[in-house]
Amino acid sequence: MDNEKRKTALVTGASRGIGAAVAERLAREGYNLVLTCVKNIESLKSLAESLKDSYNIDCICAAVDGGDFKQIEALFTDEFILRNGLDLLVNNAGISYVGLLHEMTPEDWHRVMSVNLDSVFYYSRQAIPLMLSRNSGRIINISSVWGNVGASMEVAYSTAKGGINTFTKALAKELAPSGIAVNAISCGLIDTDMNACFSKEDLAAVVEEIPADRIGKPEEVADMVLRIAEAPDYLTGQIVTIDGGWV
């Protein structure tokens, strides 16, 4: 594909799990990529080099704290983004907190909100002008079924994901006249490092409740991201659930 005609996507939290799977799926489809993470920058660099070699795309990566607006603002001054613009933003970065609400510190609460919800605002705020200049674009927010129904012991995480869902619906209405579609993917139990805090017995008990009788794969979420990214812009403001029929 002529590199000048390639679309460009920014994927947050791309060093592992769903983010890495999304990056690989988009690269396979021919997207140029901007990939970010907070801590695992060496893994992210390795992924970026692998995607460039395997799919002949352009790809840059950066260590960016999604809860720090100044860092995101600086990222959007990068010459790569200024030159290529942005066709797709995938807000995937997130952290979890499992524990009783009354034992949670205010610092933990604010960190969950900052990484999971504030980052969606920060990245979207910077991406929208680039999309408005072309009168087209896609924003896809990775959410959770707990944002739909809430989860005991995960109040902060559920609250942030519920905020993402409402953010998605409201922003979709705001941007629809400009040809920019905004959707979210509400994930069920997906096989990522975020579930490392749970025992095999705990996970097995959850799987028993899932009609599909298994944990979802990051690659399945990545396939859904691509489907939504390539859908007509009339598909907007939707919270698409992928959970094996669980919730």
Catalytic residues: 157
Instruction: For 50, list phi and psi in degrees, rounded to 5.
Output: -65, -40
Query: What CA dihedral angle connects 15, 17, 23 and 29, to 10 degrees?
Result: 160
CA–chain centroid gap for 54, Å, is 23
Sign, CA dihedral 106-109-114-115, equals positive
Which element (helix H / strand E) includes 155?
helix 155-175
CB-count exposure of residue 136 (10 Å: 0-12, 13-18, 19+): middle
Cβ atoms of 15 and 43 within 8 Å: the answer is yes
The closest alpha carbon to 59, from 37, 20, 32, 36, belongs to 32
